[in-house]
Amino acid sequence: MTQHAEPTHHVPENLPGTIQHFIDGEFVDSVSGRTFDVLDPVSNETYVTAAAGQREDIDLAVAAATRAFKEGPWPRMKPRERARVLNRIADAVEAQDARLAELETFDTGLPITQALGQAQRAAENFRFFADLIVAQSDDAYKVPGSQLNYVNRKPIGVAGLITPWNTPFMLESWKLAPALASGCTVVLKPAEFTPLSASLWAGIFRDAGLPDGVFNLVNGLGEEAGDALVKHPDVPLISFTGESRTGQIIFANAAPFLKGLSMELGGKSPAVVFADADLEAAIDSTLFGVFSLNGERCTAGSRILVERAIYDEFCERYAERAKNIVVGDPHDPKTEVGALVHPEHHEKVMSYVELGKQEGRLLAGGGRPEGLPTGNYVAPTVFADVAPDARIFQEEIFGPVVAITPFDTDEEALELANGVRYGLAAYIWTSDLTRAHTFAQSVEAGMVWLNSHNVRDLRTPFGGVKASGLGHEGGYRSIDFYTDQQAVHITLGAVHTARFGATVHQPEEAAEAAEDAGDA
């Protein structure tokens, strides 16, 4: 039986009465005065109203960011100067990580211990890119005695950043840090379900010395504020993390402007467990990989493919562990799965749970945990014997629900792993080194973990293939996205160019030449 922490409703002290936009260094309401309600996921009651941005609010934010880019000091600072500001931002995030985690947990339903880790990762993102821009080098080539070629890197301009509601503060830092490090100015549109932690960036940035207008924040719905940001002609870059269908809409709306796009989209990632795997480690990892962060993670290994020889044992042990996961009050340090972010999302996840009861064999969970009559809680749910054409095998659920499917051969495992529209991550468990690398290089995924769970070096590329994304971020690839790489060529020696039009013929000479040609 799924354990549960005692139902409580922790409300942080000093919550804001309203959440405003932040434009050109000032907190402001929407021009129209419109607002929307924000719920906490344990009570599902409104705890704050937020300014609902419209096109006119996006226009003001983009205008401020454009002025700061064209006239302000930020893009023209030396890398070391920008790095100092980024490190002060990291210091501020680290200094208040407990408060950030408390607010993030209250707003999202994430377990407090996991929210604390995300706050600390946000600080590391800023520190990483502070180091990177100081250490960065660019290409230079010399053709001896002839030419010198070098790359002049320049920030592109105003970056539009659209972020999701799962681990929002950390994912905002993931975009803000490289954009600011590169010298861009930004307009951030956070997810409407979770605007609380995003509102803290303004004070952090101001105290760290970021000039006014460099960071702008507009809250609102995706189809209003987000749509206006994507369609704004003065925003050359859009970085988006979210659902694949929304990514398709953004792709279409950005096309007339030929905007730069970086999109990290949905996933239905396979975890492939071969019979020769370290079974204990594989069970630990595959449990954590789908049930951490409430299952609301793009890289969740939500399809577990298990070799037939160990299939029954794996399913039995996996289900027993899933039943022991502690579900409950997100602020309780013992909680391992908290409340899903919003009642709309809870309803969606529960619809897949009911569907799964027809498509697979229910081994654990399957409904609301006992002792938690209210709030967006879903018991960790395990389905076995799931066919590859089942919807719970094919479609992203984004919750604490997993499908387990057997396979007999390496070829079948690869076919199953690649048999969905997504291609974000994959996890491979085997002690055969040749198989591990061969399978990893054949699987259709932007990222592969061999005998490990989702631990990522910030220097490596992050992104997916197929319906899971467009482009890559992380390390220098993030700097590449936010900058133009201008090639400059200088001739060092004598110029050797074909001299078109250099020979001048008189009219009579041309006539004589024509006569001679006729005689010939």
Q: Is the dihedral of CA 240, 246, 248, 252 positive or negative?
A: negative
Over residues 63-94, the pLDDT tens digits come to 999 999 999 999 999 999 999 999 999 999 99
CA dist., res. 147 & res. 367, Å (int): 70
Q: Report the predicted TM-score, pTM, of the whole model to 2 decimal places.
A: 0.94
CA separation for the pair 74, 78 (Å, rounded): 9
Q: Which of these, 416, 411, 401, 381, lies nearest to 271 by C-alpha position?
A: 416
Largest Cα–Cα distance of the chain, in whole Å?
Answer: 110
**Does 520 score more than 60 pLDDT?**
no
Task: Determine what percent of the chain is predicted with pLDDT higher than 90.
Answer: 91
Q: What are phi and psi of 441, to 5 degrees?
A: -75, -15
Mean confidence (pLDDT) of the chain: 95
pLDDT digits (tens, 9 = 90+) for 190-221: 999 999 999 999 999 999 999 999 999 999 99
Which amino acid, one-letter code, is at 406? P
Distance of CA 138 to the CA centre of its chain: 26
The counts of H helices and E strands in the chain are 16, 23
Q: Decide: helix, strand or coil at residue 20.
A: coil
Encode pLDDT of 107-122 as tens digits. 999 999 999 999 999 9
For the segment 429-448, what is each residue's pLDDT rounded down to a tens digit?
A: 999 999 999 999 999 999 99
Catalytic pick from 102, 104, 224, 264?
264
For helices 112-135 and 79-95, the axis angle rounded to 10 degrees is 170
Which tens digits make up the pLDDT trace of 359-405?
999 999 999 999 999 999 999 999 999 999 999 999 999 999 999 99
Q: Which of 104, 192, 224, 298 is catalytic?
A: 298
Report the pLDDT averaged over residues 40-46: 96
Token pair in block for residue 375 = 């709030």
Chain CA centroid to CA 274, Å? 30
* Active-site annotation holds for 315: no
Q: Supply the DSSP symbol for 223.
A: I
The rounded distance, in Å, linking the Cα atoms of 467 and 347 is: 24
Q: What is the pLDDT of residue 42?
A: 96
The answer to whether the CB of 51 falls within 8 A of the CB of 35 is yes
* 297-309 pLDDT per residue, tens: 999 999 999 999 9
Supply the pLDDT for residue 113.
97
Nearest Cα to 379, choosing from 360, 398, 401, 354?
Answer: 401
Q: Tell me, rounded to whole angstroms, the distance of Cα 88 from its chain centroid.
A: 24
Give yes or no: 515 in active site. no
What are the pLDDT digits (tens) for 5-34? 556 789 999 999 999 999 999 999 999 999
Q: Measured between alpha carbons, how far is residue 148 from residues 141, 483, 484, 498 in Å?
A: 6, 22, 19, 20
Give percent of the chain with pLDDT exceeding 70: 96
Cβ within 8 Å of residue 166, ≥6 positions away: 108, 293, 296, 297, 298, 341, 398
CA distance 463 to 474: 9
